Amino acid sequence: MTAYEDLRAHLRQTAALGEVAGRLGWDQQTVMPRGANDQRAEEMAALEDVLHARRTDPELGDLLDRAEAPDAVGEAILREARRDFTRNTRVPARLASELARVTALSQTAWEEARAKDDVAAFLPWLEQVVALRREEGQAIAQGGDAYDALMQDYEPGTDAAQVGAIFDRMRPRLVALRDRILGAPTPPALQGHFPQDAQLRLAHDLARRFGYDFDRGRIDLAVHPFSSGSGSDVRITTRVAEGDPFNCLYSTLHEVGHATYEQNISPDYALTPLGHGVSMGVHESQSRIYENQLGRSRAFTGWLFGAMQAEFGALNIDNADAFHAAVNRVHQGYIRTESDEVQYNLHIMLRFDLERALIGGTLAPADLEEAWNTRFEADFGYGIDRPAHGVLQDVHWSVGLFGYFPTYALGNIYAACLDKAMRNALPDLDAHLAAGDLGPATDWLAKAVQQHGALRPSVATITQACDGTAPDETALLDGLDRKFAAIYAI
C-alpha cells in the first residue's frame, strides 16, 4: 500500500470512532437514563483518549509528510487532514480528555439548572468549561488570539475581527427595520392547543417533504434540538410546546437542513475529512434556508396553512395571508431559537460579544448573567424575566462550543445568497412550494452545496453555488427589507 492509502485507512478508522462518540452524545441527550450521567462522562473521556491518540499519532504525521494525492479529491483530503493534525497536536491529551469528561457532566448540570432557573448551580460547571476551552484556545493559537483559534473549529479561515466588521455593518439596518416594524400594527398570533402527537405527525411529514431520509435517520425529543451524525446515520431532535406548534415545526425544519446536508454528501467521501459539512456557517446556511427562505416563504406557508387545518382543525387565523404574517410575526421575546428573522442576528451579536469576552478573560463567568441582562435590555428594550429566558437558554456554552455562535449569522448570510441563486435557476419555485413540493429546491441545494461536503473551503463552496458571486450581507438585508415591508405595509 502507498502512504496515501495507509493514511486513508487510518483516517477512516478514526472517523468511525468519532461517529461512535457522537452517538454517545446523541444518546445522552435523548434516551440515556439520568443516573448514567457520571459513567457516561467517563466513557466519553475514555473514547476521547483513544481518538486524541489517533489524531496526534506521530505515524499519522509521517504519513501526511509522505502521502501524495492521486487527484483533486486526494489533495482536499490531505489539506483537511494536515489542518486537523496541526490543530490536534497542539492540544495536550490530558486537556482533550478532561474537556470530554467535564462537558458531558456540564450539559446535564445545565439542563437541571435551566429547568430550575438556578444560575448558581450551573456556575461552577461554566467556570470549568470556560477555563478548559480558554486553555485549549491558547494552546492552539500559540501566542495568537485564543477565541480566533477556537473559531477555526467551526468556521475555518475567519476570525473575530472579520465577523465583528460584518456585524457592525448589519446592526444599523436590522435595528432600523425592527423599529419600523414595531411602529406598525402587529398581526394576530396563532393561538390554541396543539397536541404533541399531532405536532409530531406534521413534523415527520415536513421532514420527508424537505428530503430527510428516515431509512438513515430518526426524530426524537430533546431539551435543545440538534442534529447528529453523518452519512448513513444522521439523527435529529425537536421539541414540543402544545401552545406553540411553530416551535416544533420550524425547529424540525432547521435540523432537517443540517441532516440532509450530511445525508447528501457524496458517499465517496464517507469517513474521510471531506465526509461532513465544510463549516458550521455553510451548515447553518442549509438549516436556515430550509427554515426561513423556504419554510417561511409566502408560497410554502400557504400550503402549511391548509396542512395545519387538516391536522388541528379550524385555527384562530382564517386566511393564508394572515397565517403567513403570523409565521413571520416580529415580536418581543427572549429565546433565540424562537426569534423572528429580523431580530435573530441581534441575538447572535449579543452572544458573540459575551463569549469573546469570556475566552479573552475580560468577563468572568460569575459576571455573565449580569452582563447578559444588561446587554439584552440595551439591545431589545426590555429586561430578562428569568434565567431560562436569558443566560441559561442555550446549550452551547455548557458543552464548550465557544466560537460557534457567529456561524448562525454567517449561515443566514450564506442562505440569502443561495436563495437568490436558486430562484434564478428555478423561476417556477414558488409554484412548487405552494403545492408542498420541496423537491426542486432540495435537489438544487443537494447538487450545488451538499454533495460536495468539505471538498472546497466554505466561502469557495458558497461562491461556486452562487455562480461565482462571493457572499456578503447585502442579499440578506435587502431580502429582509422586501419581505417585511410587504407583510407590515411599511
Catalytic residue among 80, 111, 255, 262: 255
Q: How many Å separate Cα 200 from the centre of its chain?
A: 21
C-alpha cell at 262: 450530511
DSSP secondary-structure letter at 339?
-
**Do the beta carbons of residue 99 and residue 400 sit within 8 Å?**
yes
Burial of 474 (0-12, 13-18, 19+ CB in 10 A): middle
For strands 233-238 and 219-221, give the pairing: parallel
SS3 220: strand
**Do the beta carbons of residue 280 and residue 155 sit within 8 Å?**
yes
Asked about 135 being catalytic, the answer comes back as: no
Angle in degrees, CA 249, 207, 390, rounded to 5:
35
C-alpha cell at 345: 442576528
Burial of 441 (0-12, 13-18, 19+ CB in 10 A): buried
Amino acid type, 148: D
256: CB partners within 8 A, 6+ apart? 206, 207, 210, 211, 212, 236, 287, 290
Count the Cβ atoms, other than its own, within 10 Å of residue 464: 15
Alpha-carbon separation of residue 349 from 43, 80, 129, 164, 391 (angstroms): 35, 29, 21, 8, 14
Amino acid type, 119: V
What is the secondary structure of 233-292 as a DSSP string?
A: EEEEEE---TT-HHHHHHHHHHHHHHHHHHHHS-GGGTTSTTSS-S-HHHHHHHHHIIII
**Do the beta carbons of residue 476 and residue 416 sit within 8 Å?**
yes
Query: Residue 239: which of 196, 207, 291 has the closest Cα?
Result: 196
**Do the beta carbons of residue 261 and residue 449 sit within 8 Å?**
yes
The residues assigned a catalytic role are 255
